[in-house]
Chains A and B, each alone.
Chain A
Amino acid sequence: MAGTVTLSEAESKQLLATYRVPVPDERTAATADAAVIAAGEIGYPAVAKLCGRGIAHKTERGLVRLGLADADAVRAAATELLVAARPDDGPVEVLVAPMLRGTRELIAGLHTDPEFGRCVMVGVGGVLAEAVADVSFRLVPIERVDAEEMLDDLRGSALLGEVRGEPVVDRGALVGILLGLAALAEAELDVLSVDVNPLVVVEGKPVAVDALVELRT
């Protein structure tokens, strides 16, 4: 879009983390060797993704490598990713992250609406988020009670309970994420939109596994 720029995934998550949105323990690496060192620090299995401001549709372009079991796998994946970068992607790095598992994926975000201004959102996430369209919005600013009610609004709010052996989702943590996003909206006036998708529930705790922040330029 004209007049906007998207932060890289790593930059987006750094910004979100300052507003208490939980993000994985991740590292960026400029080379395949650095990626192997990073994975060694984080632990296996690992994930490698190509990361840069120009890269928005990683999955569609095959720029995400999951379930990397050891150093060799990380080295091979990082090498391929760096080769796959196109000239118009601009500066790129490899983002090395832990492989997080959770069957439940949520979405959270911010939107700047022409009529309503800044809005915060939560919903059922993942690649089908738009098709499922089970979401709830509020106008920023919000109070804790609003964040609680947003979760109650979801048709799929049963997902937040105990599901298939996974524990109840930490509602307090979800509320904290929504309050954090609202605080970000109030403080960071150049932020036009935020997508946290998927917000994966790992052993009851929501973690921003992917995120994209769009800025006004």
Chain B
Amino acid sequence: MSVEPAPERFRALFEPRGVVVAGASSHPGKFGFVALHNILTQGYAGAVFATNLEGGEILGVPTVASIDDLPADAPVDLAFICTPAAANLDVVRACARRGIGAAFVTSAGYGEAGEAGRAAEAELVALADELGILLAGPNGQGVVSMPALLCAQIVAPCPPRGRIAVASQSGNFVSSFLNYAVQTGIGISRAVSAGNAAAVTVPDYLEHYAADPETAVGLAYVEGVRDGRGFFERVRGVTTLKPLVVLKGGATAGGQRAAASHTGALAGDDRIFDGACRQVGVTRAATVEEAFEAAATFATQPLPRGPRVAVVTTAGGWGVVTADAIVRSELTLVPLPADLRDAIDAKLPPRWSRNNPIDLAGGETRDTIPEVLELAAAHDEVDAVVYLGLGIQSNQARMMREGRFYPGYGLDRIVAYHERQDERFATAAADVSEATGKPILTATELAITSPDNPGPRAVRASGRLCYASSNRAVRALEHLWRYARYRRSRGL
């Protein structure tokens, strides 16, 4: 990175007034077609242009031979470059003449392609620097900016709009994170496939996200970190402002180095990386789904003020294994405070667990679940709640609705009641969380086994993640607590 990209130039990448696809293609299998297709179909409101040496119209866009031939008065800030590497120096020069501030280069044949490719990449970077153009890529899969409804990428999908910003050294992981966003409804603000990250690096994007008002949390995939110390010095500034979730590939590669000392022999890359993450408040995830779910939780739940968790459940076994997961984590299963126990006693027949997990044991009536959620979350000795058992009644209701006796025998009324209740419980979890400023995480396997179940559906409608199992909710909550503790212990 030879120049610090100014925020204004990131605006050209993420909030362009107009986009030109350089090297647009009429062949639906080519990147130059797919990129144009995705920009045109996902709601981008700015002007869209395309260049093609042979001219003609592609997807209704009349092409011009060169960026120099674009209409003089058209505001264009971003060039999405799909031309062969050999053409790109000229394309970038044309961008500069036209006042285009950012170029996303998908073209391959650069640093990933041997000695000649590395030389071509260095030349491209030097030219972009000299001309003051923000160069993303090369060899990247694209950029997404949902506030601008911009989906300039050569892979699916277009995610819902939200507050997670992605920067990835692997284009496929951008796509994977966006797929999770589609599935869970927890949306994306920006996403960029950094490609070879020849000019703009992953920490550059992360620093921009830290300053970006559309973004609540950064989510990064990194493989080789070229300058490990420099990386952590920079992300320390990011985590001061916002949580940052990092998934690192190659955790087991490299391994131990040959070393004379025990300390050196124990100093695998990954152990140092792990320690440095904790040192600068980076949330390190072990798996792809854990990374997304941690980011989704940061984006949608308040930070806990402490580690004490109460479990509210209508599913006994899930309550027990969730308690186990909490005990194995850095969270604590709070012993049920006596006044909270008395307050719940007043709401339930005596067979409830009278401890944490708060297992209602089937004693609940119409309003019990929202009331117990509220009692638990509002208590001073509870920092977070995990809610289990949502959607069980609606799951039975579905069998009734689809069975041959429906709507007779009163089935229509009981089905409607259960579905209404599960919606209500999901909404109550979000409302109580909002009112108390404490995280309430709802977990049920129905989130993936029966995503249309009114319970999980209502969790999504409330803007929150419905966790596919309680251990995943506990893991996400643990990440929130660790970050909260990092901030607190450093006076942030």
Contacts and interface: CB of A to CB of B under 8 A. Distances in A.
Nearest to A112: B264
A111 B88 CA distance: 44
Interface stretch (B44-52, B127-135, B272-280, B374-382): B272-280
Interface stretch (B186-194, B226-234, B338-346): B226-234
A109 B261 CA distance: 9
A200 B267 CA distance: 21
Contacts of B260: 1, 4, 6, 56, 193, 214
A143 B486 CA distance: 13
B51 to A, nearest CB: 41
Contact of A115 (B261, B265, B269): B269
Contacts of B6: none
Interface string A181-217: 0000000000001110100000000000000101000
B263 interface: yes
**Majority SS of interface residues in chain B?**
helix
Interface residues of B, number: 26
Interface string A87-115: 00000000000000000000101110101
A121 interface: yes
A208 to B, nearest CB: 13
Contacts of B229: 115-117, 139
A153 interface: yes
A56 B266 CA distance: 18
A119 B274 CA distance: 12
A137 B276 contact: yes
A149 interface: yes
A130 B227 contact: no
A145 B266 contact: no
B262 A113 contact: no
Contact of A113 (B228, B265, B274, B489): B228
A172 B122 CA distance: 51
A186 B225 CA distance: 23
A107 B267 CA distance: 13
B276 A138 contact: yes
Nearest to B233: A139
A135 B271 contact: yes
B228 A111 contact: no
Q: Which of B257, B259, B274 has the most CB of A within 10 A?
A: B259
A158 B45 CA distance: 59
Given A113-B272, A115-B227, A115-B228, A138 B279 contact: yes
B263 A121 contact: yes
B490 interface: yes
Given A115-B225, A115-B229, A145-B489, A137 B272 contact: yes
Contacts of A123: 266
Interface string B287-322: 000000000000000000000000000000000000
A142 interface: yes
A136 interface: yes
A51 interface: no
A133 B266 contact: yes
B272 A119 contact: yes
A195 B279 contact: no
Interface in B245-261: 257, 259-261
Given A115-B228, A149-B278, A197 B272 contact: no
B261 A130 contact: no
B279 A111 contact: no
A195 B276 contact: no
B229 to A, nearest CB: 5
A160 to B, nearest CB: 16
Given A136-B275, A139-B276, A193 B227 contact: no
Given A113-B267, A119-B267, A197 B228 contact: no
17 contacts: A4-B260, A116-B273, A119-B272, A119-B275, A121-B267, A130-B266, A133-B266, A137-B275, A138-B275, A138-B278, A138-B279, A139-B232, A139-B275, A143-B490, A193-B260, A193-B263, A194-B263
A-B pairs, top 7 by smallest CB distance, nearest first, are A109-B263, A115-B228, A137-B275, A116-B228, A193-B261, A111-B267, A195-B261
